Structure 1
Amino acid sequence: MSRRLTVIFGSIIVILLAIIAIQQYQLYQTKQYSPESTSQFTNSEVNIRVTYSRPSKNGRVIFGDLVPFGKWWRTGANETTEIELSKDILFSNNQLLPAGNYSLVTIPNKEEWTVIFNTEIPDWGTDYYPEFDVARVPGKVENLPDVVELFTIDFTENNGTPVLIFAWDDTKVTVPFTVQ
């Protein structure tokens, strides 16, 4: 009986290790096409870090097709896009986002995006729980003269005001904020 249990237990371990190896291989394969990246904004008042994956345009029509208008988007690829703030920030629509860690999702539209900060951070970017939204802010849409091949999240300053930027294909979205 003891030998039989050893064989069963050993078989279960081999199966579990095979499942873990397959999952890790799939994750590696996925990240080859949409590499993970970090964007950071730091000044004397705040440190903000966004961790996300960067899908490629790859000849596709992005907004309105691959990423439908009017529906939530994980804002990148692979795992959930995360933003971490060392201090509270305030957006132009008077939405306060307290310091902390959030998932970042968007609802793209032709004229304006809704940028959503949510306390629920799922393992993979395929889930969104609106009941955990902390802030919803508008993003101004601009058409770019040149195509951005890899989806990019970045920061800049405009006349001393920090701005969160999303850029992909021929679209750029800007979201100004102030540090509280």
Structure 2
Amino acid sequence: MARINNPLIGFSEEVERRLHHPHDDTLVVTIQARDYNMHRVLVDNDSSADILYYDAFQQMGISREQLVPTNAPLIAFGGTKVFPLGVVTLAVTVGDYPQHITKNVTFLMVDCSSAYNAIIGRPTLNSWKAITSNYHLMIKFPTDYGIGELRGDQVAARKCYVAMMEMDDHL
């Protein structure tokens, strides 16, 4: 394969035709963390941290001994403090071969209810040199072999939204 330097990243109308419009859906993707396909991952450009929820952590079969202690609280929407159980670094792969990348992502692991398994925030998006488009529900990023893509799942985004609203009703 030919190596491509400084590729341009853009979004086409063809991508947008695959979606139901109009929409205000969040960008929800599937990533590969270790050898585990993790669905329902929220991409949040406003998050200053990458978050892994405890339920997903357990499903992946990772030992709690792999957690590195941390005492830095997260400040949630509304100012509530959430204290992580620790941090764990996982190899995350996104994109399809050969336009894929694998990077280590350090997740803060939290034990609270969520319809999502994880949140990818600015630290990872910046390490991927990613460009996100909420309108196109897609992430694009440079690879050694062209532009990699990670498409959002509009159906999963809507299911997560409903699930989060139902959780709020029970609080």
Into which bin does the TM-score normalised by the smaller protein fall?
under 0.3
Q: Name the structure with the higher strand share.
A: 1
Instruction: Select the structure with the greater relative contact order (CA < 8 A; seq sep ≥ 6).
Output: 2
